[in-house]
Amino acid sequence: MLGLDVDGVIGWLHHHKFFHRTGIPTENLHFVRDRADKAPVCARLRITHFVDDRLDILR
């Protein structure tokens, strides 16, 4: 991943009990290389809701 430490992010989420607190299964967490890759992944998985750390992705 460009500029992203995936293992670090997953470790941080576990450390803060994100998966336990939210009930979101770890296998429902997906990382993509580029913003343009998000739409195809969402379409393939039939995603209806998602969390993103960038506000501009919602515009």
Q: How far apart are CA 24 and CA 19, in angstroms?
A: 5
Report pTM: 0.70
Question: Which residue is listed with tokens 């470790």?
Answer: 11
Question: Which residue is listed with tokens 């995603």?
Answer: 47
Position 4 pLDDT exceeds 60: yes
Q: How many CA atoms lie within 13 A of 33 on its CB side?
A: 2
pLDDT tens figures, 22-55: 999 999 998 888 888 888 888 899 988 888 877 6
Residue 47 CB: number of other CB atoms within 10 A?
A: 13
More confident call, 35 vs 1: 35
